[in-house]
Chains A and B, each alone.
Chain A
Amino acid sequence: MTESGPVSGADAGPARGTEGENEIERERAGANRRRWPFWLPVVVLLVGLILTGVLVSISASAYSSNEKRLLDLRVREAGAEFTAAFASVQTPLASAAALADATNGDTAKFMQFIAPYTTGATPTFGSATLWRVGGSQTGPLAAVGTPSELSATPSRAETFFAGTAASRTHLGVIGLLAQPLPRLGYAFTSPGLTGRYVVYAESRPLPANRRSKFQKSSAFSDLNYALYLGSSQRPTDLLVTDLKKVPLTGQTASLSIPFGDNSFTFVVNARHPLLGSFPQRLPWLIGIVGVLLSIGAALLTLRLIQRRNHAERLASSLEQIADENRRLYSEQRTIAQTLQHALLPEALPKIHGVETGARYEAGVEGVDIGGDWYDLIALDDHRLLLVVGDVSGRGLRAAATMASLRYAIHAYAAQNDPPETILSKLSKLVSVGSTGQLATILCALVDVEAHTLTVTSAGHLPPLLISDGTGTFITGTVGVPIGVNAGATYTSTAVSTPPAATLLAFTDGLVERRGESIDAGLERLQHAATANHSDLDGLLSRLLEELRHDSDDDTAIAGLRWLD
């Protein structure tokens, strides 16, 4: 960004307005990002929990179906044992019935045969009786063991025996469970023979509370069981169980075991997991581990998100700082440029017979103010002093020195000092030993009417005089820069100027390039300044444009052209 001409003030207003809007935009974007930072962790947690639930349910159902299969196997095994046990009931009854038929109801033989089954340590039957079928029942023909329950109600016995005789198995089973001493009754009629006799036996009384455990040595000691008469599991049909309360709960397996014209229902569940405790606990284990992993993953996600947000906030605050710096920088640049222009002439004096022009262009893209300046001072109605100077260094110190030199020149010019005296006086104002500063100054005293020029240089580059398409540098005696020694003396060089001549004075920024002799730069200027004719203002603009690109030095240039 450069500023040309003695125009002051760059307006930073619009730029700041745009930045303000950007800031609001960023705030809005930031608010969106911060809306709810927890959604991703929550999703992770939910997905983890759902996966865990699925795994738990799969493992639980696998466990349950395996357990069920095993239980079914066990209940069938147990059922087979029962079926085998039924033979010990059926065989003596069938044999006794056959015997009764064969002996035509010989009670003595019957009692002799059946008696062993009702005695001993574990008798098969509590009682056994022989009945004749048909007619009105009055009681058994013969009886051994404890009194038979059914004998007390002959009519019931008759109905029961009739059913037994009609049944395909010839074996009837009846539950006498409502009695004080509950028991089962078995009746057998011989098939194929005369069928006139029925052998009826009753079991030993069932335990009053129906409780009986498997023996510890039994293959089924790991099962709870309940045995019912018939196909239902009504409590009133319960024969025996090892539990205090029926029905069995949890996972059960049941088996219907036919016996005679009736059946038993055998129900079991497992006291302990049949597969062992690990498969049973596995779903729990999967559940606990899954939940912990889900929570861990969610926390990790949350932490990552927080870190990313933190980084984003940091980045955005850095961005804001950078913006602020840019704003401050541009503000400072504006201040520097404003100050620079304030130190340059506001307007150039108008002298009849000449046109004047000047440019100042800042060099480096920086906030520093430069030490270059130009000045045109009208001494009277036909004389003026054209000044171009360059204080070494940059910044406020250079600018302050430049300002003091510039106003001192005005003061000395006002008291009509000639240029060499002005420079000599200036040399007392600056000392390189104390401030480290030097200033090169070119003073050109122009007499417009007389067409003469008196040039005095304190270490400054020579001015260019252009006339008729030819440029000549006025290289006179060059004195030391201001600041080298106080009271230095200077010598002026006077030349007369042709009509319509143009005088250009400039600072080194216009011609100096690194790695190149200033003579090459001066030649470039000479060529550019004489290349074509234009008005002074156009010439100055063109020179800056053609010669100054890629220069990082400040440049001041002042020109004067005789109109005749």
Chain B
Amino acid sequence: MAGLDANDTADVSFDLAQADSEGLRVRITGELDITNVDALESAVGSALERHPGRLILDLSGLRFADSSAIALWVRWSTAVHEIELRDVSPILRRVIDSMGLADTLNVKP
């Protein structure tokens, strides 16, 4: 497990689980926006290169995500074979739908 707090920015933390048979699992909690999205990208980037198969984002603890966060996920979706967003809140789900990205990001209820 690796933990990281982004300072001077919106409050966010992320946990990277060891890749298992399902794939690389990243749990994001807090608020994710343009002020800390770079921290998430650098925290996950190298793991993503090692495990380009399947990326599972556990968003059950995510309270807010802005368009730059969604842009990052879309970028990841192009870098891995398959992406999956789990436990997406209704509010976030609505944003993703309004952007026509539900399929691209493979949002699971």
Contact = CB atoms under 8 A, between A and B. Distances in A.
Chain B contact patch, size range: 20 to 34
Interface in A447-463: 457-461
Interface of B is mostly: helix
Interface residues of A, number: 30
Given A480-B101, A484-B101, A519-B94, A514 B71 contact: no
Nearest to A553: B66
A516 interface: yes
B34 A517 contact: no
A394 B71 CA distance: 12
Interface string A418-440: 00000000000000110011101
A368 to B, nearest CB: 9
Nearest to B100: A478
B63 A518 contact: no
A471 interface: no
Interface of A is mostly: loop
Residue among A390, A460, A514, A553 with max Cβ neighbours from chain B (10 Å): A514
Interface string B71-109: 110110011000000000011001101111100100000
B91 A438 contact: no
A461 B91 CA distance: 14
B63 A515 contact: yes
A393 interface: yes
B29 interface: no
B88 to A, nearest CB: 13
Contacts of B91: 515-518
B40 interface: no
A436 B71 contact: yes
B74 A432 contact: yes
A353 B60 CA distance: 51
Contacts of A436: 41, 71-72, 75
A559 interface: no
Given A458-B100, A514-B31, 10 more contacts: A393-B34, A394-B34, A460-B99, A461-B98, A478-B98, A480-B99, A480-B104, A484-B104, A517-B90, A517-B94
16 contacts: A392-B68, A392-B70, A432-B74, A436-B72, A436-B75, A437-B71, A440-B99, A478-B97, A478-B99, A479-B100, A480-B100, A481-B74, A512-B95, A514-B64, A517-B90, A518-B95
Interface of A: 390, 392-394, 432-433, 436-438, 440, 457-461, 478-481, 483-484, 508, 512, 514-519, 553
